Amino acid sequence: MTRREFKRVFNVWFKILRLTHWEIYFDWDTEPENDIALASIAMEDDYDIAHLRLADGWKEWDEYTLNRVIIHELLHLHFRDYDELLDTAVRTLSADAKDLIRKQAHHEVEGLIDRLAHSFVDAHGFA
Ligand SMILES: [Zn+2]
């Protein structure tokens, strides 16, 4: 798969998920910070700007994985305001409580986003 082919699929989901007001930078030469992640998307403090990173090996992803990973990362953009709320909500807590709640919330959001990404791909006809 080429960068052009990746972007073609990316743009399909970018429109379907109604995120075209975002400005996305493709950091082709930088891998996600998390070693086991297939991809990551980092949002800038300024609104609606994000950087997408792909793990080494993305060119070999099958069609299902390609679509699922793109959807997963794009859905994170919809959670930006929730993430901001969470950061505000835990601000007054102790460091331990803050850490515990952030980890639990992160785990739950990752699970939700991943289930939704699978559902979107299945609904789109790759099931
Ligand atoms: Zn994720």
Domains and CATH numbers, the chain: 3-126 (3.30.2010)
Expressed in angstroms and rounded, the spacing between residue 83 Cα and the centre of ligand 1 is 12
Average pLDDT for residues 38-53, to the nearest whole number?
Answer: 94
Quote the pLDDT of residue 35. 85
Expressed in angstroms and rounded, the spacing between residue 62 Cα and the centre of ligand 1 is 19
Expressed in angstroms and rounded, the spacing between residue 4 Cα and the centre of ligand 1 is 23
Expressed in angstroms and rounded, the spacing between residue 105 Cα and the centre of ligand 1 is 12
Q: Give the dihedral sign, CA 20/21/22/26.
A: positive
Quote the pLDDT of residue 127. 53
Range in 5-19, 32-46, 103-117 the model is least confident about: 32-46
pLDDT surpasses 80 at 92: yes
Q: What are 94-119's pLDDT values in tens digits?
A: 999 999 999 999 999 999 999 999 99
Expressed in angstroms and rounded, the spacing between residue 27 Cα and the centre of ligand 1 is 17
Edge to edge, the sheet with strand 49-54 lists 23-26, 49-54, 39-43
Q: What are 52-71's pLDDT values in tens digits?
A: 999 999 999 999 999 999 99
Quote the pLDDT of residue 48. 95
pLDDT band at 45 (very low <50, low <70, confident <90, very high): confident
pLDDT surpasses 90 at 47: no
Expressed in angstroms and rounded, the spacing between residue 31 Cα and the centre of ligand 1 is 14
Mean pLDDT value across the chain: 94
Please name which of 22, 3, 6 lies closest in space to residue 14, comparing C-alpha atoms: 22
pLDDT surpasses 90 at 126: no
Which run of H or E residues covers position 103?
helix 95-121
Quote the pLDDT of residue 12. 95
